[in-house]
Structure 1
Amino acid sequence: EALPPHLAAARVGRAAQGPLAGLTVYEGLHDPRVAELLLERLRNPGSWGPLRFERARPIPAALSGKLLDAEQSNSSLVYGDARGEAVHGDAYILKILRRVFPGPHPDLELPLALAAEGCDRVPAPVAWFEADDPTGSDDTLTLGVLQPYLRGSRDGWQLALAALGADREFTSEARALGRATAEVHLALAAALPTVTLGRAQTAQFADAMTARLDVAAQAVPALMPYVPGLRTAFDALAGLDEAARGRPAQRVHGDLHLGQALRTPDGRWSVIDFEGEPAIPLAERRRPQPPVRDVAGMLRSFDYAARSHEPWRADWATRCRAAFCEGYAQASGTDPRAEPELLRAYETDKAVYEVLYEARHRPDWLPVPMAAIRRLAGER
């Protein structure tokens, strides 16, 4: 049977064998009936075949769903009136996870913990659905999470590029974003266990960074001349004194950048997408880390924004980076710049990751992280 015209673009093909042999296969999330069914199941929690639906609070009925552009690791359905100019009615976003691992998923676990702690910087999960691990373990697989959709919001990347294009300062926004990030970190530390990094754990982090550098240098020869200078950042991390090694580690966002922050129409920043790097095993993503990991990710993001503008605005990036750290210090009482060895190590690790990613997926962007590599390696 042919698909209706509105589903033609969702066609995957025709099944050649198995119980569906001869039938047309299509991406179900494009089908309004599937979107409606998912929301109905979320509204009425319970089991449905191998799936279990859970709900934290009531969900309105009769909300239509629309599929947003798919990302690499998830797809999103928006329900309700999601127009920026709307002021009435409810709107929600359902993230369908396409890379699933057994165990608590950070994109559900962390927002639930933050909501329980009273942190309003993150949209609290409204409902979610899971399944048992097909391998037979006691763990569950998180398959989808429904959260409020922040209507009229714009992400930090869009706002930063708009500011650059209009030759406007972005320091006040960066400072406010630093405060928001610190508030999330403080709430995570209060809601979930923290650990103290000793000599062995610090050395493990440094060794892992060095190993990632070696892999990246083999894959991207342009990195090779800078390896000795970059290694000094990781050696310095391993050699931090006992006071620095005694700093706590905690659950963090894990993939924080300007695109993961939304500013609502009232000027307030929210943080989204807590799944971390999807390619990293779930157990590693859930491991406590120094909060500076998220700080380093955001500092790199300011650099990316500045270098996407012609001519490159190094001064703009420098001011935004400083303002973000100032805002973070205002809210947390700890200035990330007070431990330069720690910050440099994590920023270097992030830049090395960026080089490998850009070389594989966006070669035209490779000059952006390579410029940071030269700076972090000590080249003037």
Structure 2
Amino acid sequence: MLDELLAAWISRQRWFGGKGRPIDELSIDSDVELTPGLRHLIIAVWQEGSRDRYQVLLGERDSPCDRLSHALIGTAGDRFLYDAVHDSERMSWLLEGMARDESSGGLRMRHVPGVTIDTSQRSLVLGAEQSNTSLVYGDAYICKLFRRLIPGVNPELEVVTALAARGAPHIAQPYGWIEADLDGTKTTLAFMQEFLSTANDGWDLALTSVRDLYASLPEITAAEAGGDFAAESLRLGVATARVHHELAQAFPTETVEIPEVKRMAETFRRRLGRAVAEVPELREHVNTVEEIYHQVELLTNAVPVQRVHGDYHLGQVMRTPTDWVVLDFEGEPGQPLAERRALYSPLRDVAGMLRSFDYAARHLLADRPRAAELEPRAQEWADRNRAAFLEGYRDGGGVITRADAALLRAFELSKAVYEVVYEARNRPSWVSIPLAAFRPRDL
């Protein structure tokens, strides 16, 4: 009975990765009672021959509760079953368990050594996430529940705790985590950090600047507009370089020799070929991209690699009253865990942020009748903030040599190729945003 209720319910959840495909089978791999009225489930979902596992905090009540009606999973006999992350009374177990380093039925709740957790804070679910569920406890903590479970230690827990142990700036303080063994491997189920209650999202701040520029008189430049973002872009560049430095100190580093660099360029080239076959608008830019990839093949020095953020853009940074803080060190959630923990050139993160500036500049132009008129303003804003970010990155100790510039441009164009395919599949009217990346420009 419960598996049938869960199968009908899970297919409607934003974080469920198999939407649009029928569920062939759902089974409950683990069912642990944490407190009366609260169970922790690990469920296996089979679709088209493959299995994914998810965690569900299952609440039980004897009678319906209006404030939890939106979280209802179903009824079993005289019991009302619901997604307990929406129940602040039940979610107090999370803080209390981590504060006391409790273990229950294979679940291990732990706190970072030396920190104190205030267990009086009440929880509230954030509603904007696609792949996880985050609970905010008062104005003190934010706890991310990893709904889809992948065996292994989550990179975010690994990276942030390592950087915090070094006293690194530009990160949010870690407080605790929950883990269990999955397929015999220690696996992260949740991770709790400092909640930056007075901070502003980098993407939102950038869009405010772009709106201000678009609303100004035509003769006003990006530098003269009241919402100029360049000073913040410079500070963000400095913070990015410092985070890269701390990552290089906290984790092993290596170098990629020339043969492997050439293979990387060939990988970029194959991706381009597949993208052109799917999106014909890319064809006119092939020669431009091929020339950049060829420049990478001509490199004569090995490329330093290290742990990086892996999914770096304006939505992953927050501006506090004093500085920038970098969040979400998970890497790209859809990629295998080994790939997210692998070593890359830090220029990959730099390229991701440069693409984000381009998206911020043109995001508001999609589907607008004045798009052609405002395009020069978009280009001006993007160029100004890209240049400021790169200046800050160098000021913060980041290295971008003449040879690095070719690799950085290759990373950026490879990212843009991916974006063209994504937009063609999901938001065709937005294809013009990544296509603008193939115009000649200086770094």
TM-score (norm 1): 0.87
Asked if 1:141 is matched to 2:199, the reply is no
Q: Given residue 162 of structure 1, which amino acid in structure 2 is its aligned partner?
A: T
Stretch of structure 1 that moved more, 171-180 or 67-76: 67-76
Q: Given residue 424 of structure 2, which amino acid in structure 1 is its aligned partner?
A: A
Contact 1:112 1:125 in 2 (8 A): yes
Please name the residue that 2:335 is paired with.
280
After superposition, give the CA deviation of every residue in 1:305-337 in whole Å (9 maximum; x if it has no partner): 111245232111101001100000011152366
Matches within 5 A, 1:100-179: 100-133=149-182, 135-136=183-184, 139-167=185-213, 168-179=227-238
Report SS of the residue matched to 1:288.
coil
After superposition, give the CA deviation of every residue in 1:57-86 in whole Å (9 maximum; x if it has no partner): 220121100000141221110002x3xxxx
Contact 1:53 1:130 in 2 (8 A): yes
Q: Given residue 156 of structure 1, which amino acid in structure 2 is its aligned partner?
A: G
Please name the residue that 2:22 is paired with.
none
Please name the residue that 1:201 is paired with.
260
Please name the residue that 2:111 is paired with.
55
Give how far 1:183 is off: 0.3
Give how far 1:34 is off: 3.1
Query: Which protein, 1 or 2, shows the higher relative CO under an 8 Å CA cutoff with sep ≥ 6?
Result: 1
Distance in 1, matches of 2:141 and 2:357, equals 29
More strand, by proportion: 2
CA-based RMSD of the aligned residues comes to 2.1
Q: Structure 1: which 5+ runs fail to align?
A: 15-19, 83-90
Please name the residue that 1:375 is paired with.
439
TM-score (norm 2): 0.75
Correspondent of 1:293 among 345, 348, 364? 348
Q: Detail structure 1 runs of 4+ shifted over 4 Å in the superposition.
A: 20-25
Q: Structure 2: which 5+ runs fail to align?
A: 1-61, 214-226, 366-373
Asked if 1:315 is matched to 2:373, the reply is no
Give how far 1:370 is off: 1.8
Distance in 2, matches of 1:211 and 1:173, equals 37
Please name the residue that 1:10 is paired with.
71
Please name the residue that 2:295 is paired with.
236
Matches within 5 A, 1:25-104: 25-56=81-112, 57-80=115-138, 82=139, 91-104=140-153
Please name the residue that 2:408 is paired with.
343
After superposition, give the CA deviation of every residue in 1:150-196 in whole Å (9 maximum; x if it has no partner): 11110111111111222321111000000000000000001100001
Report SS of the residue matched to 2:168.
coil
Q: Given residue 269 of structure 2, which amino acid in structure 1 is its aligned partner?
A: T
More helix, by proportion: 1
After superposition, give the CA deviation of every residue in 1:262-302 in whole Å (9 maximum; x if it has no partner): 00123x11100111111111101111100100000111111
Give how far 1:33 is off: 2.7
Report SS of the residue matched to 1:119.
coil
Give how far 1:371 is off: 1.8
Distance in 2, matches of 1:170 and 1:288, equals 31
Please name the residue that 1:327 is paired with.
392
- Matched-pair identity in %: 45
Give how far 1:210 is off: 2.6
Contact 1:325 1:336 in 2 (8 A): no
